[in-house]
Chains A and B, each alone.
Chain A
Amino acid sequence: SQKIEQNSEALNIQEGKTATLTCNYTNYSPAYLQWYRQDPGRGPVFLLLIRENEKEKRKERLKVTFDTTLKQSLFHITASQPADSATYLCAREGGSQGNLIFGKGTKLSVKP
């Protein structure tokens, strides 16, 4: 079956370090992947989208990469801050019908 997986449930890092989150996909080739941030009790907030023909995309302190050989996307937050603590979700669209399918998410905790 087509899967999108975030294998790390949680990631704890020190303030100022770079956080790296991983999203893997199997049994299909997505045209693009999306990354969202979700705070407790709130809806996901769209952060970045990366297409399969893009190696890297940046937005302020965020960077996303897409490696079609490894079937993997990496999400980086540089110079992390406690305010970056949240759950980060990787997502793909299931097809033309618009079913946005999420990975299980990685809960990032940035300690001062």
Chain B
Amino acid sequence: DTEVTQTPKHLVMGMTNKKSLKCEQHMGHRAMYWYKQKAKKPPELMFVYSYEKLSINESVPSRFSPECPNSSLLNLHLHALQPEDSALYLCASSQLVGQGLYGYTFGSGTRLTVV
């Protein structure tokens, strides 16, 4: 299995809702990432997990809460989002943090719309 699977593919949520994005990989990668991508912009890093521990939080607002239950799963919990948080949310993995010699594997993303 050489894929990163993200669910759901699309999500529309109100500003008072709580939802979660899910990401799964079975490549044995020990580094997992959340990126946010706005239209016509490159992906921007939000969080890095290394061996299931949070190693980087790029000053992301607390309405985004990551969780890494095990080495294969990564969640992003969403609460009280703003319309400007609407974007494509990408999950990625690599063998180890800071060692992307084989590239990073990205999921197809979750298209999030906050209304």
Q: How far is the CB of A44 from chain B (nearest CB, A)?
A: 5
In the complex, whether B109 has a CB less than 8 A from a CB of chain A is yes
A89 close to B42 (CB less than 8 A) = yes
Q: How far is B46's CA from A27's CA once the two chains are assembled, in angstroms?
A: 24
User: Would A43 and B92 be within 8 Å (CB), given that A93-B100, A97-B98 are in contact?
Assistant: yes
Could you say which residues of chain A place their CB within 8 Å of the CB of B41? 104
* Majority secondary structure of chain B interface residues (helix, strand, loop or mixed): strand
- Count of residues in B whose CB is under 8 Å from the partner chain: 32
For the A-B complex, the count of residue pairs with Cβ-Cβ distances under 8 Å equals: 75
Interface residues of B in 45-102 (CB under 8 A from A): 45, 48, 50, 55-56, 58, 88, 90, 92, 94, 96-102
> A98 touches which one: B4, B100, B108 (CB < 8 A)?
B100
> A99 touches which one: B56, B88, B107 (CB < 8 A)?
B56
Q: How far is the CB of B58 from chain A (nearest CB, A)?
A: 8
Could you say which residues of chain A place their CB within 8 Å of the CB of B48? 97-99
Question: Residue on A with the closest CB to B31?
Answer: A98
A43 close to B90 (CB less than 8 A) = yes
Could you say which residues of chain A place their CB within 8 Å of the CB of B98? 93, 95-98
What is B's interface to A at a CB cutoff of 8 Å?
Answer: 4, 6, 31, 33, 41-43, 45, 48, 50, 55-56, 58, 88, 90, 92, 94, 96-109, 111
What is A's interface to B at a CB cutoff of 8 Å?
Answer: 32, 34, 36, 41-47, 49, 89, 93, 95-105
